[in-house]
Structure 1
Amino acid sequence: MLQIGMFLGDRYEILEKIGTGGMADVYKARCHKLNRLVAVKVLKPEYCRDKSFVSRFRVEAQAAAGLTHPNIVNVYDVGDEGDMHYIVMELVEGITLKEYIAKKGKLDIRESIGITIQVAQGMNAAHQQHIIHRDIKPQNIIISKDGKVKVTDFGIAHAASGDTINSSSGTMGSVHYTSPEQARGGYCDERSDIYSLGIALYEMLTGQVPFDGDNTVAVALAHIQNEMVPPRQLNPTIPVSLEKIILKCTQKKPERRYTTAVELIADLRKALMMPDQDFVKAAPKEDMSNTQMIGVGTLSAIREGEQEDADSSGQAFASEGGQQTGSAEGEVPDGYEDAEDYDDDQMEYDDEEEYDDGRYDEDFDDDEDLKDSRFDKVILGAGITVAVVIVVLALYVIARAFNIFPGGGGKETETSATESAIEGTTLASTQTRMPNLIGASVNDVDSIMASSFLKASYQYEYSDEYEKNYVCRQQYEEGEILDKQTTVTVWISKGKEESKMPDVVGKTEEQAMAELRSLNLNLNIKQETEYSADQEAGRVTRTNPSKDQDLKTGDTVTVYISLGEEAEEVEVPDLFKLTQAEAASRLAERKLSLGEVKEDYSPNVEAGHVISQDIVSGTKVEAGTRVGIVISKGKQTEMVRIPSVVNSTEAEAKKTLEDAKLKVNVTTEHNDSVDAGRVISQSPSADTEVEEGTVVTIVISLGKEVVYHEIPDMRTMVEGYIRGNMTALNLIPVFEYGTDSSVEEGQCYAQDVPPGTKLPEGSVVKFYINRPPSTNSGDNAG
């Protein structure tokens, strides 16, 4: 017995029981590995001993686990512990569509279309994987708190294939929503789900199901034989196009319905945009019950009822044991519940409180027929008979194939030709056809290939669609003609490609999304936000699953994005007439920061002080909020145009500028072209418009710049040498002649300016040259 607080698989802690049904109980649990809440569906103990029920329970898990779609309740895990079998699935908080219809009476047009589109999208995802739900009804449709519509309960879903036929021993589905072909126990495909969705849409818009009766047989016969009341007769507000969509979905013959859910979705979207237009290519012209097993006797009664008057359907039916049982009018035969007595409200729902999780209640009936010994005997007998026939046929085919029967060599050719004629082409005795291996177990491939006289070679690859060790691809298409003993390459699935959850904590949202998508696992990435003291806003705080956890294709990953540290509310202070530094300090005291700083003139506030702030003082804001201020530039002055003072004397320039209410700054420099004492230039330049009191800088000329040279020592130098050096220094040499025995004749023995003295260019320097008296007469300085 499962108890609150127990663990399943050392991972799932049972928290509370949230639903129950005919076959299973549903519990709310916590997955401690991924730290999330889940729903755990546990098969009831009385059915764990029944291999057929356990098998059916596993089929539910296998069918649903392969589906990942926003409009389907996700299945996360499946397991068993001892004799206990369970499925772990997404925990959805919401209300069933059946309860929603009961609460509102009927839904409006746009709401009904929106719900139907979402259900059809979920169906389409299943149909693309060849899975038929076979029990689409409002009880199996959940509307979550955020408005998301999800299809649940794939307990009777069936993996469809080209030869999907309902078992003659029973047919599944809730009778008020079942398709005619399901009621007959005939071929069931995607169009059967479309029929059931059409009935659900009818109920959404009218508040009632189109067919009702005293018992399941009467309702099933009505689906097969009767025409429904057009929904517009019950609700005139239904647009013509939407009525035609319903009528097309619910055609008796599947080929007259929508072929795919995609086609249905397209017309529903048109109905939203063009409700009164005639675009539906349609053929002319509620149930509160749980999912039931329609037994052999009931199915026979339905089939017989198609040939009899529908009014007799409630009178007498063949019992499961083959005997006739009578009942008074309105009485339900053994093994069937009155439709009026079905109780879908196995969960409580209060408008003022949160939705109960009882939506996971199973819709399987507690039909006593399932446990009736007579029924078991009928099923057992039928099963044995079918098994014997299959074995005999198989032995016969094998015997013919290996030429066991007398008659020898011609038989194989004859058999091959006969079998090939069925395919439309006669094969030679050396030829065979490629069988379909897709979905087959690797353990069965060799025997299947051998029966077709072929051999297999194996390669392995990851597959999102097929489980590990099952065929996901084959070299040749089914039916292709090959030579016998040809070796065919077969690809075996390694299961979904797995990876490890990368560490994206601390990265930006964009970086985290890019890294997750780069894994190419087609992940269902969800984003949540939360406050964090460790990560700045916009960065990842944590993920679910956490880093290094296993990831498979299609897994759901939740990324939590930081909103920054959750801030307390503080009051904005008054910053009026404070300096900028004082304002910043005052804000910091309140855990606020200085925002944008602007400047403006103010006749009343001193320059450098706050005139105003962009958040009024006293306002409550989050800590860390930035508060902008405007700083005063003082009283605004008049603008003046700067006059030209170039070439004016310094005194003239000062007077002109001061008369214009400007201030003057004087600098000097040498200039070869402007006389000393006059203005060379001004800044700002003339005609510039500036405020009163602006400083204008004028440059006064010092005249041509004077260059000084140091006088070298020319003693003992001859006259020609001295003349060349002085000329190079822009100095003027003058020579006088005399006699001095200290130097040789023609050399300088003295100069009037001592060596090392600095003289301006153009200065005269006198040099004395030694010359004897006989040669001095008549000589001039020169």
Structure 2
Amino acid sequence: MLYEMLTAGPPFTGDTPVSIAYKHVQEAPTPPSQFNGDVPPALEAICLRGLTKQPEDRYSSADDLRGDLRRFRTGQQVLATQSGGEVEAKTVQTRVTPSPGTRPAPQRMNTPANQPSGPPTRKNERSVTPTSSDKTRVWATLLAVLLIVVAGLVYLLVNGFNSGTGNSDGSSGSISDGRLRVPAVLGLNWEEAEQELRENGFEEITIEFQERLDIPENQVFQQDPRPGLLLAEPNDPDNPIRLFASKGLTVVRIPAVQRMEFLEAEEILLAAGFSVERLDEQSEDYARDIVIDQSVPSTEERPQGTLITLTVSVGKGEVQIPSVEGQSISDARVTLAREGLLEEVLTENSLDFPKDTVIRSEPGFGSSAERGSVVRLVVSLGPASGQVPSLQILGTTDAIQVEIALENLGFAVKQVTQSLPLGDPQINQVLSIEPAPGTALLLGSEVILVVGIGDPDAPSPSPSPSIQQGFVTVEPNN
């Protein structure tokens, strides 16, 4: 089985089963490197040692063979090459054999000196017959041993490289265990070859372009591993599928654009002659619009016009701002955290919301924000209070100016009128303020202004010092 995997054919062929069995016993196999030049010498030595005719020259157990294969995979010297060419010498010696399909001439029995020469007696004939049968049995035994070795190789190739990880049901021959067979893509355009490999489950693919005058541009002329091989680890990053394609005149190296802003990366690739496709992806590690990955690495070359896909970060993703109005600070923090948002607390006085409850959020409910961004929570300090100012403090008795001043201080203002005779100087002036100046009120509370208006039916008031002066002052009650 190992020989067939290396050469795509059995070690012995013939016209009849008898001739093939004869070769198994008498002839040495052709070294695999003569069929496949990519076979390493160490692996070839392992294969040939397992096919030697003498049992003492072969591996003493399947564990020894598995150990030599593992040494080959790890780059160590294998036991098959430590015999100093003994295997190769024995192989050459066994090639001097009769042609396939013929039987070797029987060996002549030495005639004892005391017996006369002449035709053999029946007794002599009977003594020759067991000798030929014994030789046939030897051949059959060697063939059986060889078949056992081949079966052991099959078992090793299926289970030996991944000891302890085989299927518990024993169905190791199924390709459903993750192994893939390399398809033939020689002669295809490199893009078609790459697509076919990916459709067959291969993901680790590298493409190298070489100048070949005898190969059409962009056509694959070599692939490694060769077609038909069954790979136990088909997507090993350290051992990708390598395609070699004919190099055209427009093949250029791919620029490295990872970790760049998308617009900058796109500009560089377009300037190099490539087409650009954007693929958005959420990322915890990359900021928004930063290139996370490019479909073709910068270590490779591609013809101009090749489509390069850039995977671009959209940040941590967008979420809608939840409703937190009226919640306590702790509850609002939990609500934001469930959406992946952070909070910043601002405070202000409010008559409508109790102390330490959320008045509103910025951005507001229903808006979109990036996950991980900061949402400001405006939290109530409760209602604020202030003293009702006097008209002397305000510096005017004009009704309009007094109303504006009180509203700027946070009070709600309501005007009530009091009739005055026509021509009275206190018309449109504030006559009094309720509550009295100096009274402490919650901001937003109502303050009443008593304002004089002209009325021809109003009686003339008796003179008073405050009216004669044209200024009314209302002092707070102590």
For the criterion TM > 0.5, the same-fold answer is no
Q: TM-score, normalised by structure 1?
A: 0.20
Q: TM-score, normalised by structure 2?
A: 0.30
- Greater relative contact order (Cα < 8 A, sep 6+): 2
